Structure 1
Amino acid sequence: MNIIVKRRIGPDPHEGGRQSSSSSGCPDILELDSGDFAIIGQDITAAAIPALPASAGCAAEERVIRIPREILLRAKGDIARLA
């Protein structure tokens, strides 16, 4: 699979000197050249699966990813312009 990142959705998580919660990375939202999105965040699959609604599922090749609320809210303007 060839992945090409088109752009970041929302501001740089380190903008304004912000510190990330991880020692080696930071949560982020990326738009791929295919039009799909990639999320960098904490893998919470094992803990989340028992809490998923009955109509939701997570296949073996999928992961449930947590990103901080602030990251998504700061990306809101970019997300709105995608439609």
Structure 2
Amino acid sequence: MLRDLADVLLDLHEGMTAASQRWHTGVRLVDAQMALPMEVRAVFRDGGVVLQADVLRNLADAGWLAQPSRLTLTWSETPVETLP
């Protein structure tokens, strides 16, 4: 089931934060990267367009997609350089 992309991103961030809190005391997560296969769909709602998405959980989920979309995320405590 697809959800608003904002909700998916929030869940990914909360999961990463929870994982970092399980590590040893004194270890702090300052940078993390993820590259995930995603199903993404634009949906018309309330006079606008909303992106809905979710992470593909197995190959059967992606069977009908010619090539699944990939979402690449980077969370960092330091600013990331902008691309030229």
TM-score, with normalisation over the residues of structure 2?
0.24
The structure with the largest strand share of the pair is: 2
* Larger CA Rg, structure 1 vs 2: 2
Relative contact order, CA 8 A, sep 6+: which one is greater? 2
TM-score, length of structure 1 as denominator length: 0.24
